A and B are shown apart, each in its own frame.
Chain A
């Protein structure tokens, strides 16, 4: 109700302010061959400064003083469109761009244009990749991987193979908002991080906001990864797929309702199970996922979308244990064009992540899940040629099940136990404006107001002196406080309420036609947290909401950048510096026990983190050779003081390296298009080793050699480095044959470097001597994949 009023007010306000004798042109830009809408196409009036980029639904709206103009639409890899238009009144003008078919191979490479740096827009710290670029990067076992691709860009790392998720500018995995067609995805990895959950066949574009997060996003403090699924071919039936060593893929897309709509169904499944069976092992490991999307254009002003994702990992070890986990999401969207200048989208979204773990040996099962119900209404108002407004609202309801344990047999020693289920409600409203102040200066400013209610329907432990964690002065350790009672909260009570104003600001100053300087500030709040004190985030970590004992994370990020296109946009250079602070970053007491614990607050301390760095990205997006060079110099630290729990805190309350601290992160990615048949790709990565905790002594206790340890994260693993190469062969196509095939040969980790995923210390079972054991995930891995389309 309030929201409606605000919306109305805004509309009235803006229309009064900007009502002038002007005409507006709007429409949707699509690909002529498959009807996919084009995101980020540039639409402008020749010889004026009036121009706009299409939004994620391909929509644009241009307002200019009435008159005659030449409308130009460009999207690299596509033939530019030019036409005289007589702007007199409101006009609808949809355009389909033709893919540059004369040089098919060039097109593939050039289509990276939308990725070349936009020096005019204030938006900074954003990385955009499209599916074509992602597919060119050599990958492990030939499995095209969205996340591996973004990790080749500056400011993005992960804990190496075998770790789920990714880290942006020193942020934790749970500080990334990952959206698949607007649905929140809680775990981005299959098989412990070997593959991402995003099937490249179903994906149109990905955008990663490392900083300068626009006001329409909220809920995470580090980054936003916005993944858009394809709409499906609205012109003709198409089938594509690939057969690889680990998995195979198939995607089907076709028009619906006389080309008024279309759909895509893309599936992927692994057959690791098969290999293991051939090896006569009685266990299985595998994953599959399914992407679905359909759309229907009701009329010029209304379009409906339905999309869904379902993915699952399964592990079954016969008599001993089984484990399965996955994401599920569904989304209904309604695009409505209120007027030639007001575009809107309403979404109803559901998503969940759950895992189940069965230990047959001990005859029990363990389940945990997080679910959310999300309603979003977003508006974009093209007020005039100088100002565009984005505003909207978003509400999310959460259900957390931190765990239920139940016996699976009569004889099980385990009793049924349900940890307290948690509920929460999050809401946000925002408004932001993109304003062109002068020919060379643009500014984007916005404000998000977010609110979080931890809802009742559970009881909360009460602690002596209100201290869930206490410092034991005598023993010098942190311990869970003494529980003195419980407080019951009924379903209509709030356990805790938080709210925050989150200002966002970005500005761009064009120095000349080729270069610009940008600066940005964003404040972000995060109300839910992933609990993990293991070296790598695992699929079995549990999310928990802020509440009585856990405060929301609050981040401030300042960034400054220099951008330059040179040699006719063949090269682009981006240099950015950032400084980020996060308050209320959860840290864990030594030996914290996080799984199956009803009193999580008794295991955590409230810390802070800070990160700063310099990122350098040089890209070549045009020509036979394309690729980029990325380097990041950065520092990420955290500090956890004892605070009200007393004591010095973690590591004596000193600043210490976060697990995601990488001083140097260097990568080169390149693709060389030799001829119509052959394309070669290579990438090289070098990173400073991850901070770890090493033993600094030993003693005998209970007949075992027990290690004493250094301060947390005070040592480092050896550096991580790797070279991957690939070659793509496209056999000559017979005329009139719709079938197009290609072979992709790859070698991952070409010089067989044994990068340590972990080094663990222990006693040799036979000699009793202490030794260090390195776990390396992949040595050299050759692969071959066959992809096809028809």
Chain B
């Protein structure tokens, strides 16, 4: 809701009067912090056995190297219900992989990372998702009259609080587009999400992912999306994003990133 309103305001603002330019700004540099990108995504119909966790350190904002991989950490995930543990093997490039993970919907898992003699821990529930009903293309329905759009339809279950993350990644494109969705104002309805890009052309393929997510993760990703997408005078004052990876050894030294377990419905759409 509010994000549409704010985006629209900004839109008015920009076309009406403002001019924008890229400038050099000196920003402060904080000490590096561990980043845990533990997105255990279980594609529908798949086993979900192969899972990757990425570890890195944060870098200065204008740094040329955006990724500073972390090696030598110990990473494991435990199913809290049945006690089964899954060890993630260090690939020495920041990736930690397991090939025998067993996802079980609505069960709770614990992530544990040991790095620099400090223990990081996170707890999350494996969240289900509905199927994608339909994907179709259109032109001129969005903000840009000439742009191609891809539209995704799915049906929200009635009388259950649901949260979704939708991701569009143009194949060969650089940045993915993320959308946080709640059913607060549309409980039980068929929901439609569209994504437009002035660069879309016939023949382009877009990977679409619909994740079912927990409320806690929704709050996190909503803020993340808001802060990475917003700008201008009507933006919400940004704040430090804190995920669910806490540092048991030294609470001050919490990690960025998030431990999520989600079922995901995927489609690829090619413009024709």
Contact = CB atoms under 8 A, between A and B. Distances in A.
Interface of A: 159, 162-163, 191-192, 194, 272, 281-283, 285, 315, 317, 319-321, 323, 357, 359, 361-362, 364, 366, 405, 413-415, 417, 474-477, 479, 533-536, 538, 540, 588, 590-596, 659, 693-710, 712-713, 715, 754, 757-763, 765-768, 770-779
A694 B222 CA distance: 19
A773 B223 CA distance: 20
Contact of B142 (A361, A477, A592): A361
B171 interface: no
Given A535-B233, A535-B234, A712 B239 contact: yes
A708 B256 contact: yes
Interface of B: 1-2, 4-6, 8-9, 11-25, 27-30, 32-33, 35, 37, 39, 56-63, 66-67, 140-143, 145, 167, 169, 174-176, 178, 184-187, 189-192, 194, 219, 222-224, 226-244, 246, 251, 254, 256-258
Given A699-B67, A706-B228, A708-B256, 17 more contacts: A319-B140, A319-B141, A319-B145, A361-B141, A413-B190, A540-B5, A699-B256, A703-B176, A704-B176, A754-B21, A758-B232, A763-B175, A766-B174, A767-B174, A772-B22, A775-B20, A776-B19
A632 to B, nearest CB: 23
Contacts of A712: 237, 239
Q: Which 7 A-B pairs have the closest CB atoms?
A: A760-B231, A590-B239, A595-B2, A696-B30, A591-B223, A596-B1, A772-B25
Contacts of A283: 15
A767 B32 CA distance: 23
A592 B174 CA distance: 30
Nearest to A359: B4
Which among A321, A535, A702, A777 has the highest number of chain B CB atoms within 10 Å?
A702
22 contacts: A475-B244, A475-B254, A534-B6, A535-B234, A535-B236, A538-B234, A695-B238, A696-B27, A697-B58, A699-B35, A699-B58, A700-B37, A702-B167, A702-B176, A703-B176, A704-B175, A706-B228, A706-B256, A707-B228, A709-B239, A768-B175, A777-B18
Given A596-B1, A694-B28, A704 B178 contact: yes
A773 B4 contact: no
B174 A768 contact: yes
Nearest to B251: A476
A783 B140 CA distance: 37
Contacts of B32: 697
B33 A703 contact: no
A596 B178 CA distance: 21
B242 to A, nearest CB: 5
B175 A162 contact: no
A477 B245 CA distance: 12
Contacts of B145: 282, 319
Nearest to A712: B237
A600 to B, nearest CB: 12
A761 B60 CA distance: 13
A708 B228 contact: no
Contact of A694 (B27, B184, B226, B256): B27
Nearest to A694: B27
A775 to B, nearest CB: 5
A779 B19 CA distance: 8
B8 A761 contact: no
Nearest to B254: A476
Given A591-B219, A757-B233, A704 B240 contact: no
A788 to B, nearest CB: 28
A773 B22 contact: yes
Contacts of A709: 238-241
Nearest to B61: A695
B55 to A, nearest CB: 11
A705 B58 CA distance: 10
B233 A320 contact: no
Nearest to A767: B174
Given A317-B11, A590-B223, A775-B233, A698 B21 contact: no
Contact of B232 (A414, A479, A588, A775): A775
A247 to B, nearest CB: 14
B56 A700 contact: yes
A699 B30 CA distance: 12
Given A776-B19, A777-B17, A700 B66 contact: yes
Contacts of A162: 13, 17-18, 233
Contacts of A770: 61-62, 66
A348 B194 CA distance: 50
Given A317-B11, A700-B56, A765-B174, A415 B187 contact: yes
